[in-house]
Amino acid sequence: MRTLVADHPLIAHKLTALRDQRTDSPTFRRLADELVTLLAYEATRDVRTTVVDVVTPVAHARGLRLARPRPLVVPVLRAGLGMLEGMCRLLPTAEVGFLGLVRDEETLVPTTYASRLPESLSGRQVYVLDPMLATGGTLTAAIELLIARGADQVTAICLLAAPEGLAFVESRFGDSAVPVSVVTAGVDERLNEHGYIVPGLGDAGDRLYGTTGTP
């Protein structure tokens, strides 16, 4: 498994502002959006392309365009939705699927409550959006589901990761035949006893939407 911690002063600047508890929801949403676009730039370095010829006003030129089938972007509901616009800004032609996974706050075990994906993901590069890679349980469940549908490359984009979560995802996909990558803006110290990343930024869904998410 490939883990890329994006190292750029603009990424660090936006992440620091996201962490700040004084940052309100509208500002948090804007910063998360901008941060995802920067992370997406790193995450799509190996997006598949095909060679094309175009005619400029001056001459013929050889270039690249995104290959078919189109990449699939999958935000994990609910907090992953706050990353969708930022991702689609960079990949406007990507197809978008949705996965709803919720973790039990006591057992931390994730269950799927919504899935809207193409029937087959054969030959598809998939970009999963999940802001907080904490225990890794939710992300692992999402990646397993995508691989079971035939995805042949999965890249997770996370605003923040915990070492425990990265180790868990690595333990599941370290020698997977399907390449799995994690791209993140930072790896924090640890998880606390409630499964929150420390120092982290709190509950990403609540900070994005200003609600508790209780049904």
Binding-site ranges for ligand URA (CB under 6 A): 79, 132, 134, 195-197, 200, 203-205
Q: Give the nearest distance from C-beta 78 to ligand URA in angstroms.
A: 10
Q: Give the nearest distance from C-beta 196 to ligand URA in angstroms.
A: 4
Q: Looking at the DSSP assignment, which residues form a beta bridge with residue 64?
A: 51
Between 117 and 134, name the residue whose CB sits nearer to ligand URA: 134
Q: Which residues, 6 or more positions from 106, have their beta carbon under 8 angstroms from its beta carbon?
A: none
H/E stretch holding 113 = strand 110-116
Q: Give the nearest distance from C-beta 116 to ligand URA in angstroms.
A: 22
Q: Return the SS3 of 19.
A: helix
Between 66 and 108, name the residue whose CB sits nearer to ligand URA: 108
Between 32 and 204, name the residue whose CB sits nearer to ligand URA: 204
Pairing state between β 60-66 and 49-55: antiparallel
Q: Which residues, 6 or more positions from 81, have their beta carbon under 8 angstroms from its beta carbon?
A: 75, 208
- Residue closest to 181 by CA, chosen among 148, 133, 137: 133
Between 1 and 191, name the residue whose CB sits nearer to ligand URA: 191
Between 79 and 154, name the residue whose CB sits nearer to ligand URA: 79
Q: Are 166 and 3 in contact (CB under 8 A)?
A: yes
- Residue 47 per-residue DSSP state: -
Q: Give the nearest distance from C-beta 129 to ligand URA in angstroms.
A: 13
Q: Give the nearest distance from C-beta 119 to ligand URA in angstroms.
A: 30
